[in-house]
Amino acid sequence: MHDVQTGFIYIWYGKDITTEGLEKRIGMKAWKHIQKNGLRAAALFLALTLMLGLCACKDALEPTEEEMQTVLTVDGMDVPYAFYRALVLSCRDRLAEEDDVWEDAQQAAALEEEIRGEVLQALRDFYAVFSLCRDYDIDIDDDYIMEQVDQALEEQMAQYDDTEDYAAALEKEYMNHSVNRLLEQREVCNSTLYYAMLENGVIETDPDALREIIDSDAFIRVKQILIVGEQTSVADDGSFFAPPEQHTNEEARQLAQQAREEYLAGADFDSLVEKYGESLYMTSNEDGYYLCRGMWDPVNEEAVFGLVVDQVSPVIESEQGYSVFLRCEKEAAYIDSHFEELCQDYYEASFTLALEEKSASLQIETTELYDTLSMRDMK
């Protein structure tokens, strides 16, 4: 079964922090749903105890006054310049890969607006965890939480030769130690919040009630024929799509449409999955996906939940590529043998939906500094 996004941050203890890049590190839904179960259910991480070689250089990790200036607030929480800059530069790298996109004034203005919009949404998603923690009386600066943060940072830094090596790795992601610490704090709070919501019954955990939910239309079963376009993508289950040959977007759309027409003409859907499909998850998989709301990206999720049993979708274009979905009858035997897994999917999806609802409600207030910052010129 594929994984589910329940939080937005992933922690690496390997040598190279920069391997995944900041967008994958914070994994925001607005930034491609890449998404999910390392926490995609959340991992648990005293004061920062540095190795002897690092202790002498501790001051080098302190942020400057400029880096700590407040650019804006999210639900009353200050967003420091260092974090805002990291998000902007990471987003800009993706949206403005070619320098010439800035040469046309109208295009440049539109790009500035797009980057600002994505970053603001990313910040809402990020700070939703802290805001929801407050709703459940979780102190995000609690000693126990911060001990876990410091322990995670210590283990991460221990992978480097010295402080400079660690700082250089962060800089490749446009980060500094204070930003890294904020990311770790959110990860720990994300885990703490998730388990608190399970323990206090906000997320349903009663087995009988969960069986009723899984048997109801809250859970559906679908199969997918996916054709990847001009980008290689990553599935919700974490598998990469590696088509034998690269398609243009138009070629991918036409292949998906061809597969759909063959199905309507009487071809077996599973055979068409093997013939056309480029999702590794669906390879030799006749069970398909068992889904509830909150498990997929909004485009595909809306498409599949709009189907009735035995109905095939039109070609659906999403960030993954071009898909044709078939809704299928659920099988009791599959539910019986995968019950715990399906319950876990439900827990995580419920948590995701709670975060999305909180994110949508958060108010942002900008400072004078915010209005002076250029997406194009930020360094």
How far CA 313 is from CA of 12, 199, 316, in Å, comes to 39, 38, 7
**Band of residue 30 on the pLDDT scale cut at 50, 70, 90:** very low
Fill in the DSSP letter of residue 242.
-
Please say if the pLDDT value at position 235 is more than 60.
no
Nearest Cα neighbor of 205 from 332, 297, 305, 339 is: 339
Instruction: Give the model confidence (pLDDT) of 309-358 as tens digits.
Output: 999 999 999 988 899 999 999 999 999 999 999 999 999 999 999 999 99
Tokens found for residue 298: 């909004």
According to the model, what pLDDT value does residue 23 have? 55
Distance, in Å, from the CA atom of 356 to the CA atom of 118, rounded to the nearest integer, reads 15
Distance, in Å, from the CA atom of 321 to the CA atom of 224, rounded to the nearest integer, reads 11
Residue pointed to by tokens 């979708």: 313
User: What is the SS3 assignment for 324?
Assistant: strand
According to the model, what pLDDT value does residue 39 have? 35
- H or E element at residue 355: helix 339-361
**Band of residue 222 on the pLDDT scale cut at 50, 70, 90:** very high
Q: What architecture is domain 207-337?
A: Roll (3.10)
Cβ contact 41:194 at 8 Å: yes
Distance, in Å, from the CA atom of 235 to the CA atom of 59, rounded to the nearest integer, reads 42
Cβ contact 260:324 at 8 Å: yes
How deeply is 173 buried, as exposed, middle or buried, from its count of CB atoms within 10 A (0-12, 13-18, 19+)? buried
% of the chain residues with pLDDT over 70: 80
**Band of residue 16 on the pLDDT scale cut at 50, 70, 90:** very low
Please say if the pLDDT value at position 46 is more than 80.
no
Instruction: Give the model confidence (pLDDT) of 75-120 as tens digits.
Output: 999 999 999 999 999 999 988 877 678 888 999 999 999 999 999 9
Q: Return the domain boundaries, the chain.
A: 17-204+363-372, 207-337
3-state secondary structure 25-94: HHCCHHHCCCCCCCCCCCCCCCCCCCCHHHHCCHHHHCCCCCCCCEEEEECCEEEEHHHHHHHHHHHHHH
Please say if the pLDDT value at position 51 is more than 80.
no
Q: For residue 246, what are the contacts with CB-CB under 8 A and spacing of at least 6?
A: 230
Nearest Cα neighbor of 62 from 146, 176, 169, 165 is: 176
Instruction: Give the model confidence (pLDDT) of 153-191 as tens digits.
Output: 999 999 999 999 999 999 999 999 999 999 999 999 999
Please say if the pLDDT value at position 256 is more than 60.
yes
Fill in the DSSP letter of residue 264.
H
**Band of residue 69 on the pLDDT scale cut at 50, 70, 90:** very high
Query: Which of 143-152, 210-219, 236-245 is predicted with the least confidence, judged by mean pLDDT?
Result: 236-245
- H or E element at residue 143: helix 143-157
Please say if the pLDDT value at position 8 is more than 90.
no
Distance, in Å, from the CA atom of 180 to the CA atom of 175, rounded to the nearest integer, reads 7
- Cβ density class 285-314: b for 16+ within 10 Å, e for less: beebbbbbbbbbbeebbebbbebeeeebbe
**Band of residue 240 on the pLDDT scale cut at 50, 70, 90:** low
According to the model, what pLDDT value does residue 371 have? 94
According to the model, what pLDDT value does residue 319 have? 85
Does the pTM surpass 0.85? The reply is no
Which has more confidence, 229 or 4?
A: 229
Instruction: Give the model confidence (pLDDT) of 129-152 as tens digits.
Output: 999 999 999 999 999 999 999 999
Tokens found for residue 47: 């004061």
Over range 70-78, report the average pLDDT.
Answer: 98
Instruction: Give the model confidence (pLDDT) of 281-311 as tens digits.
Output: 898 889 999 999 999 999 999 999 999 999 9
User: What is the SS3 assignment for 290?
Assistant: strand
Cβ contact 239:280 at 8 Å: yes
Distance, in Å, from the CA atom of 293 to the CA atom of 356, rounded to the nearest integer, reads 12
- H or E element at residue 258: helix 249-264
289: which strand partners? 222
According to the model, what pLDDT value does residue 98 have? 72
Neighbours of 329 (CB within 10 A): 8
What is the average pLDDT value for the chain, to the nearest integer?
85
Tokens found for residue 187: 């990860």
**Band of residue 6 on the pLDDT scale cut at 50, 70, 90:** very low
According to the model, what pLDDT value does residue 83 have? 98
- Cβ density class 181-218: b for 16+ within 10 Å, e for less: bbbbbbbbbbbbbbbbbeeeeebeeeeeebeebbeeee
Tokens found for residue 199: 């323990």
How many degrees, rounded to 5, is the angle at CA 311 between CA 309 and CA 315? 140
